[in-house]
Amino acid sequence: MKKQKYLSYILFFVLLIFQACGEADAPLPNNTKENYDAKLHDHSELTETYYCSMHPEVRQTEPGNCPICGMDLILDQNTATDSAQTALGHTNSLYLSRSVNENLGLQTVQVESGLVNLEIQLTGKIELDPTKSVRMSTYIAGRIDQLLVNFEGAYVEKGQVVATLYSPQMITAQQEFLTLIENNPSRVNLIESAQTKLERLGFSEEDISKIKKTKRPTINIELRAPASGYVHGLNVLPEQYINQGDALFSINDHRKVWLVLDAYEHQLPYLQTGQEIQWKLFHKIRANSNGAPMRGLIEYIDPQLDPELFTAKVRITLENKDMKLRPNQLLSGNLIVPYNSSEEMYIPKSAVLWTGERSFVYLVVERDAGSFYELRPIYLGPEIGEIVVVHSGLNKGDLIVSAGTFVIDAASQLKGLDNMAQQSHSDASSEINIPAEMGMSTHTSTNRSTSYIKIPQSAEIDSSLALYLEIKDGLIEGDFNTITGKMNNLSTMIKSWVPELTEGSSTLELLSQTAQTLAGSTDVTTSRTSFVAFSHLYIDFMKGLDRDDVLFVQFCPMANEGKGAYWLSLEQEIKNPYYGVMMLRCGETIERI
């Protein structure tokens, strides 16, 4: 695959050289070069001109056939170039003929606009609804003779006997009731008062009727469940003495549960109470028998952040009549909210040359014989699926390259035109670029240096990734000694890809510089600081490679002094290298490459 990719690049460069030579040697028809150049740059009368290759004097502003020989008229490349450059607003554009475009498989797309929905992924945990919890306690001191529910998680029905209690005070209250019935049957008020006292001590109507019938006090009092549900927090044993008001356990109704989420600070502006959210279980476990999605409304958002995780709790109540959801179960939810009330421009992610918030695309002006490409800086918003929002730099309807942007950028760099590496270097930003071919010098305009870059082989890239992941794991553990040698090895390896560093600004050169800074770290703190810049560049570098394995791009908004920082991982589970065990789960997976 990679060999075919390199062969396609070499073929492209050969075609480009032939085309450039053809343009240089082509005669200018019916005019001197000086007069033609003056006319060419007179944009007040700018138009495309078509001429006959056999009869150069035949010229017209529209395609057609020669009236003399009948041959198809050919577009004058000079007038086409000037027309396209004027349309672009610059004179620094790359021209490729239609045949070259077809051979390279370049694709274009128009900039679109519309209402954009932002998808926010939140993770949380199932918790019991405390409003559905009932406390099982005693109204009087005594001793637990029998404990009929002796393990947590047992299900009890309302009114079910869960324990028997021996209490001298209970016996005294029964005896007072019996005495009033036998000796003072006419004192109805006193009898009712004594009966009410027994009811408040936990006697049921059946218990009181039994006492009246037998005319004997009950020694062991039956304690009944006040509600149906599952037993939690069991904290008594048989033969244990308890005080008045002590809790035996709690009974919780699982038919409604809470989902408590952790939302990061940058996600909170998009969340509000009353929003509907759709949920799915982690690990692709079905939420219910038919696999239908669960839905719930946001009921509460914590007004303060957790001091350790810097997240706010978001609460949702979920129906759980089929008992599929269990306490402490992890859930993942996707909340879809409008990014903005007005329409936003957006483009495919494949069209972007990524260098951060300020990135680049190639604007296209198509002509009959070929197309013109010019680098255009843009300012990006969030990535949403396969598209990315564009805040500025483009207009609706603009035509841009959507596939093959790196090939266009490499060709622009060869011809000394504006390219991503040149622009990114001036901004001190990160970028990704295709390495120059083996043994091929990258010639630019006379005021730029020549750079010779070695192509990193697949095995070398695999080795660099293995070292990167080992360094990341060492930062998670906070063990500086284990990563010192690995940082030096990684720096040496990447430096070997750029044997002659010049004033150019290719990705590999910038990557090598940040790797050397990382290798010069003196402790875990400085290593984590240097790892921020290196990871940003290394991720962009890996995005430009054709690999079979899957890598996850993860992001922590709190790292890098609150500016956020990225890292690569083989697993989707979050393990933060910038904070280690202190904030191990702080972060989210934002992309899969």
Instruction: Name which of 423, 451, 418 is nearest 435 in CA terms.
Output: 451
Quick one: what percent of the chain has pLDDT higher than 90?
A: 8
- Residues 183, 200: contact at Cβ < 8 Å? no
Burial 411-444 (b: 16+ CB within 10 A, else e): bbbbebbbbbbbbbbeeebbbbbbbbeeeeebeb
Complete domains list, the chain, with CATH: 2-99 (no CATH), 120-129+254-338 (2.40.30.170), 130-252 (2.40.50.100), 458-592 (no CATH)
Distance CA 526, CA 517 (A): 10
Whether pTM > 0.85 for this model: the answer is: no
Token readout for 466 is 């293995």
Distance CA 482, CA 478 (A): 9
Q: Mean pLDDT, to the nearest integer, of 142-168?
A: 87
- Residues 169, 140: contact at Cβ < 8 Å? yes
45 bridge partner residues: none
Among 360-364, 467-471, 587-591, the least confident range: 587-591
Which amino acid, residue 118?
A: L
Between the two ends of the chain, the Cα-to-Cα distance in Å is: 17
Among 41-55, 299-313, 333-347, 381-395, the least confident range: 41-55
Distance CA 131, CA 146 (A): 29
In SS3 terms, 470-507 reads as HHHHHHHHCCHHHHHHHHHHHHHHHHHCCCCCCCCCCH
Average predicted confidence (pLDDT) for the chain: 76
Distance CA 415, CA 438 (A): 18
pLDDT at 111 (0 to 100): 93
pLDDT at 27 (0 to 100): 39
Residue 462 has pLDDT above 70, yes or no: yes
Confidence of residue 345 (pLDDT cuts 50, 70, 90): very high
**Count of CB atoms situated within 10 Å of the CB of 368:** 12
Q: Mean pLDDT, to the nearest integer, of 56-71?
A: 84
Exposed/middle/buried for residue 133 (C-beta within 10 Å: 0-12, 13-18, 19+): middle
Token readout for 24 is 């240089």
Residue 110 has pLDDT above 90, yes or no: yes
Distance CA 325, CA 333 (A): 14
pLDDT at 28 (0 to 100): 36
pLDDT at 401 (0 to 100): 92
DSSP string, 222-258: EEE-SS-EEEE-----TT-EE-TT-EEEEEE-TTEEE
pLDDT at 112 (0 to 100): 92
DSSP string, 521-551: --SHHHHHHHHHHHHHHHHHHHHTS--SS--
Distance CA 200, CA 386 (A): 66
Exposed/middle/buried for residue 510 (C-beta within 10 Å: 0-12, 13-18, 19+): buried
186 Cβ neighbours under 8 A, 6+ residues apart: none
Distance CA 428, CA 356 (A): 11
Confidence of residue 89 (pLDDT cuts 50, 70, 90): low
Length of the chain: 593
